[in-house]
């Protein structure tokens, strides 16, 4: 495993096949039977025995661990809710933001460390931000979408986002920097690259947005222009008109309500000998292994409890 600068963990190979191989090796070693392409569509408990039926066959068991993952459609949970188990309605998490602003979209591919905030809320993230041809993406946006999943869903994905292109720089330090430049380097062209290392194309876009020609010298920039530039560098405001849905939702927020489960054993509080693990429950995390860890940890707890039971 390797750990990225923002604590996300991946196999050194950068291939999900490595993880699959690891589990397949363990399953083969333990002679675990796998029934592929068998969809359980009926699930009942009759006289302490679970009956799980697919189109062609029925499996019987006195204990069951459900690990069917997340679904965006609430109907997919009906076979669980029919047992009287409460489901938190599923909504997407980990998606990117649609921002239709042609001049920003032209900067697609630019990636930098920045702070993003959902306007008028406390949802804020500092991480790598990626400009795409449809809007904004990258770890900063994915994290924001995860932590604000409920809020954004309630807003029908129409909201405003504020970008601090200088990440942790604030009004005081930026204004004193402007003052020093004006006093000491008046004959020099405005060039924030040395100080802030902004990609050149992005810098020109931001200066132009503030009504400043990049050829202008520090002495020629008006106070009003610097006030506008401060706003754009620290609180650049964009209207998001939706989320990107095409296969970009990695995780479902919602599922089996957490108050239905005993976390010491992962057993259902209502249906004895029925266990849950993984994303089928109302657990979602950011990418980088945290969802896998949640799935594996809960499966480990459930397996231990199942194996130790009479
Ligand atoms: C593109 C993508 C990238 C991701 N990247 C990351 C990442 O980098 N890091 C991270 O932590 N997480 C990531 N995730 C999320 C992570 O994959 C899931 O959180 C994790 O796999 C959940 O594990 P699980 O075992 O609970 O469910 P799943 O892995 O979803 O497995 C559920 C299984 O149950 C089967 N099933 C469902 N219903 C039935 C039924 N009725 N009958 C029989 N079988 C059924 C499904 O076919 C599936 O095989 C990513 C997800 C996606 C889609």
Least confident of 95-104, 190-199, 220-229, 292-301: 190-199
Atom number in ligand 1 closest to CA 69: 27
Residue 36 has pLDDT above 70, yes or no: yes
147 falls within a domain:
yes
**Are 138 and 114 in the same domain?**
yes
Please answer whether residues 91 and 153 qualify as being in contact, where contact means their C-beta atoms are separated by less than 8 angstroms: yes
Overall average pLDDT of the 218-240 stretch: 96
Return the residue whose CA atom lies nearest to atom 46 of ligand 1: 68
Number of domains in the chain: 3
Least confident of 25-34, 143-152, 173-182, 240-249: 240-249
Residue 219 has pLDDT above 70, yes or no: yes
251-294 pLDDT tens trace: 889 999 999 999 999 999 999 999 999 999 999 888 788 899 99
Name the percent of the chain lying above pLDDT 70: 98
Q: Is 159 exposed, middle or buried (0-12, 13-18, 19+ CB in 10 A)?
A: buried
Residue 56 has pLDDT above 60, yes or no: yes
What residues make up the domain containing 207? 171-236
Give residue 197's pLDDT band: very low, low, confident or very high (50, 70, 90).
Answer: confident
pLDDT at 72: 82
> To the nearest whole number, what is the mean pLDDT of the chain?
92
Atom number in ligand 1 closest to CA 79: 41
Tell which one of 58, 76, 291 to mutate to probe ligand 1, the residue whose CB is within 8 A of the most ligand atoms: 291
What DSSP string describes 201-244?
HHHHHHHHHTT--TT-BGGGS-HHHHHHHHHHHH-EEEEEE-B-
Please answer whether residues 79 and 256 qualify as being in contact, where contact means their C-beta atoms are separated by less than 8 angstroms: no
Name the percent of the chain lying above pLDDT 90: 80
> Residue 266 region, left (φ>0) first, then alpha (ψ -120 to 50), else beta?
left
Give residue 249's pLDDT band: very low, low, confident or very high (50, 70, 90).
Answer: low
13 falls within a domain:
no
Residue 237 has pLDDT above 50, yes or no: yes
CA distance 30 to 55: 28
254 falls within a domain:
yes
Could you tell me the distance, in angstroms and rounded to a whole number, from the CA of residue 279 to the centre of ligand 1? Answer: 7
E strand spans, 171-242: 236-241
Where is the domain boundary, 167, 198, 225? 167
Q: What are the pocket residues of ligand 1 if the criterion is a CB atom closer than 6 Å to any ligand atom?
A: 39-40, 67-69, 250-251, 278-280, 287-292, 295
Nearest one of 298, 291, 299 to 8, comparing CA atoms: 291
CATH number of the domain at 124, please.
2.40.30
Give residue 166's pLDDT band: very low, low, confident or very high (50, 70, 90).
Answer: very high
pLDDT at 245: 62
Give residue 310's pLDDT band: very low, low, confident or very high (50, 70, 90).
Answer: low
Atom number in ligand 1 closest to CA 290: 11
Where is the domain boundary, 198, 213, 236? 236
183 falls within a domain:
yes
**Collapsing DSSP states into helix, strand and coil, what is residue 230?**
helix
| Most trustworthy range by pLDDT among 96-105, 237-246, 249-258 | 96-105
**Are 176 and 160 in the same domain?**
no
What DSSP string describes 23-74?
HHHHHHHTT----TT----EEEEETTEEEEE-SS-EEEES-EEE-----SSG
CB atoms closer than 10 angstroms to residue 60: 10
CA distance 143 to 134: 18
Could you tell me the distance, in angstroms and rounded to a whole number, from the CA of residue 17 to the centre of ligand 1? Answer: 14
Which residues are CB-contacts of 223 (< 8 A; sequence separation ≥ 6)? none
How far from chain centre, in Å, is Cα 170?
26
Could you tell me the distance, in angstroms and rounded to a whole number, from the CA of residue 275 to the centre of ligand 1? Answer: 17
135 falls within a domain:
yes
pLDDT at 246: 45
Could you tell me the distance, in angstroms and rounded to a whole number, from the CA of residue 166 to the centre of ligand 1? Answer: 36
Overall average pLDDT of the 197-206 stretch: 93
């Amino acid at each position: 495993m390797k750990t990225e600068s923002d604590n996300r963990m991946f196999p050194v190979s950068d291939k999900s096949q490595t993880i699959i191989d690891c589990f397949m090796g363990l399953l083969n070693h333990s002679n675990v039977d796998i029934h592929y392409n068998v969809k359980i569509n009926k699930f009942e408990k009759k006289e302490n025995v679970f009956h799980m039926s697919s189109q062609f066959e029925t499996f019987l068991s006195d204990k069951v661990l459900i690990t069917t993952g997340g679904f965006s459609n609430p109907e997919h949970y009906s076979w669980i809710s029919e047992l009287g188990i409460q489901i938190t309605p599923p909504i997407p998490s980990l998606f990117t933001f649609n921002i239709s602003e042609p001049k920003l979209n032209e900067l697609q591919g630019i990636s930098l460390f920045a702070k993003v905030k959902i306007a008028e809320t406390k949802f804020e993230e500092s991480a790598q931000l990626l400009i795409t041809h449809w809007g904004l993406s990258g770890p900063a946006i994915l994290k924001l979408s995860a932590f604000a999943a409920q809020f954004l869903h309630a807003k029908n994905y129409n909201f405003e986002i504020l970008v601090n292109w200088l990440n942790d720089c604030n009004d005081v330090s930026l204004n004193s920097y402007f003052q020093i430049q004006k006093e000491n380097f008046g004959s020099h062209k405005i060039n924030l690259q040395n100080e802030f290392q902004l990609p050149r194309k992005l810098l020109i876009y931001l200066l132009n947005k503030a009504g400043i020609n990049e050829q202008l010298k520090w002495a020629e920039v008006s106070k009003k222009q610097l006030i506008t530039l401060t706003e754009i560098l620290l609180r650049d405001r964009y209207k998001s008109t939706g989320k990107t849905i095409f296969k970009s939702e990695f995780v479902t927020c919602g599922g089996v309500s957490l108050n239905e489960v005993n976390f010491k054993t992962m057993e259902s509080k209502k249906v004895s000998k029925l266990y849950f693990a993984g994303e089928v429950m109302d657990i979602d995390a950011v990418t980088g292994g945290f969802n896998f860890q949640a799935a594996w940890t809960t499966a480990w707890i459930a397996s231990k409890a199942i194996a130790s039971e009479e």
